[in-house]
Structure 1
Amino acid sequence: MVQRVIATDAALELIVLLRERHGPVMFHQSGGCCDGSSPMCYPDGDLLLGNQDVLLGEIGDSPFYMHKNQFDYWKHTQIIIDVVDGRGGMFSLEGVEGKRFLSRSRAFNKEELVELN
């Protein structure tokens, strides 16, 4: 089964840590405002979602959303959530850990696109 969003082992380990410290978490791919275009991690329910937010899937048992307008540009790619050292978005939970989530991507092949549609 093709997944629109996946996470590296390092990202999954950080999600486990964040869940232990904060309880259930959720992700939203930032659209480029204050925090650039980074995956943002919040306590589950702290970010109010709108009817234009698209659920792409789950990483580490945590939902991952993106605004529909942004999804229209990314729908042909698989988003791979990774983690690197450094400070990320000021509102994202991982910042105090000295880490930041990072979005990488790869284009779906023809067979994967057929499966997704």
Structure 2
Amino acid sequence: MAVDKVTATDATLELMDSLKKRHGELMFHQSGGCCDGSAPMCFAADEFKVGESDILLGEIGGAPFYISKDQYEYWKHTQLIIDVVDGRGGMFSLEGPEGKRFLTRSRVFTENEREELKKEASIV
């Protein structure tokens, strides 16, 4: 059983479908910056350069989801759940004009999930 480190709500997947129609393929980066706090940022796939300090956490709706190594260290014990709420989106994120914003929720992995993640890490 593979454990997803990042998942998305149905509302997130619906908004992503709408954004894909206008912008093409998408990608996400879990921001840790000063401008938008720690919001998940959504970009057209070719508009954000992933650096050496970023890791691929997983995919949501077919879009890769990255997080900085430093920030991952804080959240590695949790599953990130990307949701959508009403409000102003991140100034650089594609959902900004929609009156919606992506929001990261999280839950702590269960003991069984942590054991499975350890097994998966040892395979790599």
Q: TM-score, normalised by structure 2?
A: 0.92
Within 2, Cα distance between the matches of 1:30 and 1:98? 19
| Alpha-carbon displacement from aligned partner over 1:25-66 (angstroms, at most 9, x marks no partner) | 100000031011100000002111111101010001000000
Q: Corresponding residue for 1:31?
A: 32
Paired residues for 1:24-63 under 5 Å? 24-63=25-64
Amino-acid identity (%)? 65
CA distance in 2 between counterparts of 1:54 and 1:114 reads 21
Residue 97 of structure 2 is matched in structure 1 by 96
Q: Tell me how many residue pairs correspond in the alignment.
A: 117
RMSD across aligned positions (CA):
0.7
One-letter code aligned to 1:15: M
Q: Which runs of 5+ in 1 are unaligned?
A: none
Moved over 2 A (4+): none
**Does the alignment pair 1:73 with 2:40?**
no
- For residues 116 and 51 of structure 1, what CA distance do their matches in structure 2 show? 22
With the length of structure 1 as denominator, give the TM-score of the two structures: 0.97
Which amino acid is the alignment partner of residue 32 of structure 1?
Answer: G
State the partner residue of 1:107.
108
